[in-house]
Structure 1
Amino acid sequence: MTVRHHIGDDLLLSYAAGALDEASSLLVATHLALCPHCRARAATADALGGEMLDALPAAEVTPDLWQSVLARTQAEPETPSATPATALRPRSDIVIPEPLRSYLGKDLAGLRWTRLVPRVQQITIDIPGCGPRARMLRFEAGTRVLEHGHSGRELTLVLHGSLYDGDTVMRRGDVAETDERTEHQPQAGPGEDCICLAVTDAPLRFKSRFARLLQPWFGI
């Protein structure tokens, strides 16, 4: 497997700095599990961040400041990590890598899909808060997605099969990042279902009036 479409520098740096929302962090971490090239980039970003911190002048830690930090750590709820502490036992036939598999709680064969439209199914991933939403999408082979634009950013990670978008072909491990400038109609490749992880921070803008009427039920 050769990953050809990688996460952008801005996204990777935000992830390395811990400034990315949980849903997007989940997608980036899952991509890193599949992409040695981006794992090396992430390690470089981490090292650079460490050097920048080391270069900062040391600040005096007063007793009042220390007590204030302790009070905040005790008062603030713990933010869920994009890498859950409890991982499922690895299996050789896994399509879904960690950390995504722990978020879902099951291997691919155990997932329960909900029909979205004919030939398309989804699983909404439960992530607390009101930030970007993450979902698994499954398209039957050859299915053409409804034509749509975007009101914000959408990240799509292919986990199985292939996804055609214009002249671009995405396969396992590949990531696409789209925004308000994008209007498209991707299509699942032939021969096998396409399974993706998608993260959106705003609703899609469907061209079809029928799709817009059903959008509240789609949740997309």
Structure 2
Amino acid sequence: MPALPASANLPNLLDYVRGLRESDWDAFHPGVTAHWFYKEPDGGAAAVLLRYEPGARVAEHEHVGYEHMLVLEGDEYDETGTYPAGSFVIHPPGTRHSPGSHGGCVALLIYEKAVRFVGSK
């Protein structure tokens, strides 16, 4: 993951996403890849683009801190609803869900703290 300067500016996030090469994405979960902007060690804050293949789903997890999610392309869903492109969702600490995408999507997620996957220590 590249180091960011003191400040970063992406004037058109969608153009940035569309310009990413396959090698710019890392495995995250089956059917889901990640492009990290930053990720603090020891479960600290992070900003990441997640790209879901059609039908992919992430295992249930609990939010230890706030998560802010902006769906950039496609659609995402979880136990509480479906979120088309342009949707902005805030998951407060203590909430749990298992997000997925029927048709595939790209979403920007900003974590206050890393999530805790249910069933893992």
**Which TM-score band applies after superposition, normalised by the shorter structure?**
0.7 to 0.9
- Shift, 1:143, TM fit: 1.4
Q: What letter is aligned with 1:80? A: S
Q: Whole-Å Cα distance in 1 between the matches of residues 39 and 95 of structure 2?
A: 26
1:158 matched residue in structure 2: 71
Residues paired across the two proteins, number: 112
Superposition deviation, residue 145 in structure 1: 1.2
- The one-letter amino acid of 2:58's match is V
What is the deviation of 1:80? 2.2
Residue 108 in structure 1 maps to residue 18 in structure 2: yes
2:51 corresponds in structure 1 to 138
Q: For the residues of structure 2 that align with 1:143 and 1:107, how far apart are their CA atoms?
A: 19
Correspondence 1:176 to 2:89:
yes
Which entry has the higher C-alpha Rg, 1 or 2?
Answer: 1
Sequence identity, in percent? 28
> Which residue of 16, 31, 37 maps to 1:125?
37
Any unmatched runs of 5+ in structure 1? 1-78, 88-97, 213-220
How far apart are 1:174 and its partner, in Å?
Answer: 0.4
Q: TM-score, normalised by structure 1?
A: 0.45
- What RMSD over aligned residues (CA atoms) do the two structures have, in Å? 2.6
Q: Distance in 1 between matches of 2:20 and 2:97?
A: 32
Distance 2:82 2:37 in 1: 26
Which of the two has greater helix per residue?
A: 1
Instruction: Give the match's secondary structure for 2:51.
Output: strand
The structure that is strand-richer by fraction is: 2
Distance in structure 2 (CA, Å) of the matches to 1:172 and 1:133: 21
Alpha-carbon distance change, 118 to 107 in structure 1, aligned in 2, over 3 angstroms: closer
d(CA) in 2 for partners of 1:205, 1:127: 15
Aligned match for 1:203, one of 89, 92, 114: 114
- The Cα of 1:135 is off from its aligned counterpart by 0.5
- 1:158 is matched by which residue type in structure 2? V
Aligned amino acid, residue 90 of structure 2? E
In structure 2, the residue matched to 1:24 is none
Give distance in 1, aligned partners of 2:62 and 2:17.
32
Q: Distance in 2 between matches of 1:157 and 1:178?
A: 11
State whether structure 2 residue 61 is matched by structure 1 residue 186: no
Give the secondary structure class of the aligned counterpart of 1:186. Answer: coil
Does 1 or 2 have the higher relative contact order (CA < 8 Å, sep 6+)? 2
Relative to the length of structure 2, the TM-score reads 0.77
Deviation at 1:120, TM superposition (A): 1.0
